[in-house]
A and B are shown apart, each in its own frame.
Chain A
Amino acid sequence: MIPAAFDYHRPASLDDAVKLLAQYGDEARVVAGGHSLIPMMKLRLAQPGHLVDLQDIAALKGIKDTGAGFEIGAMTTQREIIQSAALTAACPILKEAAEQIADPQIRYCGTLGGNVANGDPGNDMPAIMLALDAVYLAKGPAGTRELKARDFYESAYATKLKEGEILTTIRIPKPPAGHGSAYVKQKRKIGDYATAAAAVVLTMSGGKCASAAVSLTNVGDTALFAAAAGAALVGSSLDQAAIDKAVQAAVGIAQPSKDTRGPVDFRKSVAGVMVRRAIEAAAKRAR
């Protein structure tokens, strides 16, 4: 499979990259790790005339601990996330999710920025960003905007990112110490997207759930934030009745399509099982 021809650019700075995108308009596309874009180009589902490679831009790399949270450069790879001890200590769900993405070769290349900007409902990181209430920084010709992950996803491959903008940084608030989290994913084999997956981040206080965020992967047009599922847990002791209510609320917003992973009802049912397991695992890990 040979992609259509393109001109290749490798800017050394963010400003140069933004300028190239402005110059070439909808002909241009940025490439990060390339492991979503290149397969699409090989199938000629994407045919950019100009490819702007972000690999040399130092400002897009690295993980910074700001005290209140982390600022992760968009070009940070899934492997670098897995290897960051600081990130894992404060926010272990990032590593847990990254380890369930694709395979080792792909994790060396695939970036957090590419995974969250891509807009494929099968990508795993968007649901994590919804659960953690992350903020994306996007730089365009007019300057930098802040976009909440929970408002970012519109439909498959459609996000709030405007033409000419580059996602530069993912800002993640640290969940409180003692929080419990889990990302549970059902897939048919290594390197497969989720049949359904669920992320849960919760805190406990005096035996009661004090806060809870629940989100879903690949059972809708976008990753889904299940606000009602989180609300069903808050104030409970995470007893069976509360978990049942949360599962029901989460499955209620799932709208998977029938595909090779199974019919609609099956995938909804798997989503429910994933939510239940994620809540139970997060509860065990919370202090």
Chain B
Amino acid sequence: MAKMHVKMTVNGGEVEALAEPRTLLIHFLREQLSLTGPHVGCDTSHCGACTVDLDGKSVKSCTVFVAQANGASVTTIEGIANADGTLHVLQEMFREHHGLQCGFCTPGMITRAYRLLQENPNPTETEIRYGISGNLCRCTGYQNIVKAIRAAADQLSGKKEAAE
């Protein structure tokens, strides 16, 4: 089957490539662009390990064809850290509050939490739990993930106040 020419912005940079339309976005990112941060956990749209940000929405990249993402802007965990290479507050808080154990769910979890805080900078614990309900973690029991996201929200809003 004919390959198509795809063009998208990935982590702020322009990317052009040839790919079969049926290629799943997760495979395109991992295998063609060597962005192995987003993981394949379940391959059945349940676990959220493959979560990336697509035009401002959190999506499961195992359930999106590269053809559908043609022309879009994609952010993966590789694009979350600050431009100077220091960790994003969310990454820092996951480390600080033990929001990860094996780390398999973490790229998806942080990418999802990033969008959640963009939309709701001051979420309650219930809102955090509902907001990350599409991401499964087999290790932590979620408690420290919720703590980390809440702590990141505090830091981010504190920063904003300080800048104002």
Contacts and interface: CB of A to CB of B under 8 A. Distances in A.
Contact of A34 (B44, B65, B112): B65
A103 B59 contact: no
A35 interface: yes
A34 B64 contact: yes
Contacts, number: 82
Interface string B30-71: 000000000000011110100100000111100111011010
A1 B65 contact: no
Which range holds the interface residue count of chain B? 20 to 34
Contacts of A108: 57-59
Interface residues of A, number: 29
Helix, strand, loop or mixed for chain B's interface?
A: loop
Interface string A3-18: 1111110100000000
A2 interface: yes
Contact of A103 (B43, B67, B133): B133
A55 interface: yes
A72 to B, nearest CB: 19
B58 A7 contact: no
A285 interface: no
Contact of B22 (A4, A103, A105): A4
Given A53-B67, A108-B59, 10 more contacts: A5-B21, A5-B22, A7-B21, A38-B45, A38-B64, A55-B68, A102-B134, A103-B133, A105-B51, A109-B64
8 contacts: A5-B20, A6-B22, A8-B65, A35-B45, A35-B63, A102-B134, A105-B134, A190-B134
Interface of B: 1-2, 4, 20-22, 24, 43-46, 48, 51, 57-60, 63-65, 67-68, 70, 112, 116, 130-134
Interface of A: 1-8, 10, 31, 34-35, 38-39, 41-42, 51, 53, 55, 79, 102-106, 108-109, 190-191
